Amino acid sequence: MRGSIAERVADHVAALPERSFVAVRDIDGSRTAVDAAFSRLAADGDVLRIRKGLYWKGAPTALGVSPPRVDEVALALGGPGSGPAGVAAAQWLGLTSQVPSTFLTAVPARAPAPFPGIRFAQRPVERLLHSLAPSEVAVLEVLRVGPTVVESDWETLPELIAGLATSGAVRLPILDQVIAKEPHRKARSRWAEFRHTFPEPSAISHRERGQNDLPGAPLPALRATTGKVGVPVAERALTAALDLFASRILSPGPGRSLIHMREVELGTGRPDAVLVVVSSAGLEARLRNGLRLPTLAHARVLESIRTGAPSGYSRRHSNQLTKSLQEIGWLTHRNQVRNVTSLVARSLVVEAKISNWRRGIGQLAKARWACHGGALLMPMENQHRVSRAALRHNRLGLLVARSDTVEWRIKPKSVDLRWMADLWLTELALRSLEAGHG
């Protein structure tokens, strides 16, 4: 890959398929330099600026880049868990021929600012936590508004939903869970009225579905760990297997969500995986109040202000970060840290290794500060090589991957989580959900 930020941005955009959105935050590097690179690409007609930080790569035409459809823009701005609402939801499902003059979009938690031709309506964060697809959101929204937006017979809606479920476009068990927490009373009662008419849900879970929500096979990823593949490829396969069985490793329990993140920044490297069990209601509240952390350095300075311990940064840098925290709302007018509830109930940092367990333990020792526990993940046939004494000394656990599951061989010793670590893990969980990776 080429070296400068402008070249990296150009390479990233060139690699994207036509009719793709690209966000400035997708590119590592100085935000000012990345913004400038995108501005130049927009001026050259390679991309189309949609809104600050969001661009569109369309098909080139004689008049410039072909623009996105209004529904594409609405869903891109709304983010994961968003979908059409009102008449737009009925049209999405083929229940009306009306074309709304304004595309109403239901978004989980905080609604973005209006956009020409698009309005946003705030909805529960449960939709984000369950990664609802637009068609699933459309079903919920039609249930909210009722027959007034449907041109055809309202009684045909159950048949339509059943067809969507059979094709895999909607997941009935997930809709059951979301509807149970839906604040709209009539939406709940309409779902209860229709639910008994639907087919039995497929045995294939959402986590076992492949691209485009089609059934996928989890076992080849596990088998790849013992095949003749490069070590990085095999270790990625181990991490993918962990994704399938994460809820067996850390069970979230009622009122909590399990977030699985890969290669997130912990200040001491990027571990293969971090599992976080976090309060669902707390995440929703944090999304609403806008208390976010731009960087890990902001979390360090917050802890420094709270405890009086040195942050490790220069006075000038600390002052700059403190000013930023004041603007976000983390500090009161007296420069005291606002009271925030700890949201992370349990957390685990994981390093996947095929055979080099010593390196894995070294990496975990550096990242261990950020989680309640740490664990090495290895194929079953290689786990006997790992020194149990080294695991005990570093208070680490051992996960093993079989052909059909990932399970504990040794559980780690849990330690108390630093306040700063709770803040940063919560921020990473929010980012993961917003990116649709939760």
Query: Would you kindly state where each structural domain of the chain is located, as residue ranges?
Result: 5-65, 70-195, 217-291+340-438
pLDDT tens for 40-61 read 999 888 899 999 889 999 888 7
Mean pLDDT confidence for 374-380: 93
pLDDT at 205 (0 to 100): 40
pTM summary value: 0.56
Please tell me the class of the 217-291+340-438 domain: alpha beta
Model confidence at 12, pLDDT cuts 50, 70, 90, reads: confident
Residue 220 has pLDDT above 50, yes or no: no
Model confidence at 345, pLDDT cuts 50, 70, 90, reads: very high
pLDDT at 389 (0 to 100): 92
Helix (H), strand (E) at residue 261? strand 256-261
Mean pLDDT confidence for 166-190: 89
pLDDT at 111 (0 to 100): 84
Residue 219 has pLDDT above 50, yes or no: no
The single-letter code of the amino acid at 100 is P
* Strands 60-61 and 64-65, bridge-based pairing: antiparallel
**Cβ contacts of residue 168 below 8 Å, gap of 6+?**
202, 209, 213, 214, 215
Helix (H), strand (E) at residue 246? helix 246-249
- Cα–Cα separations (whole angstroms), residue 67 to 59, 73, 83, 435: 8, 10, 20, 23
Cα–Cα dist 339/230, whole Å: 48
pLDDT at 187 (0 to 100): 94
The single-letter code of the amino acid at 182 is E
Compare 25 and 395 and report the one with higher pLDDT: 395
pLDDT at 199 (0 to 100): 60
Mean pLDDT confidence for 113-140: 90
β-sheet bridge partners, residue 346:
277
Phi/psi at 269 (5° precision): 120, 180
Residue 208 has pLDDT above 80, yes or no: no
Task: Output DSSP code: residue 88.
Answer: H
Helix (H), strand (E) at residue 344? strand 344-352
Mean pLDDT confidence for 12-37: 86
Q: Is 57 exposed, middle or buried (0-12, 13-18, 19+ CB in 10 A)?
A: buried
pLDDT at 234 (0 to 100): 63
Distance of CA 424 to the CA centre of its chain: 15
Q: Which of the residue ranges 48-52, 318-322, 378-382 would you say has the lowest mean pLDDT?
A: 378-382
Cα–Cα dist 159/131, whole Å: 24
> What fold is seen in the domain 5-65?
Arc Repressor Mutant, subunit A (1.10.10)
Mean pLDDT confidence for 207-226: 34
Q: Do domains 5-65 and 217-291+340-438 have the same CATH topology?
A: no
DSSP states along 284-312: HHHHHHT---SSHHHHHHHHHHHH----S
Q: What percent of the chain has pLDDT over 70?
A: 90
pLDDT at 374 (0 to 100): 97
pLDDT tens for 73-102 read 999 999 888 999 999 999 898 888 888 889
pLDDT at 414 (0 to 100): 92
Task: Output DSSP code: residue 265.
Answer: -
Mean pLDDT confidence for 381-396: 90
Compare 159 and 428 and report the one with higher pLDDT: 428
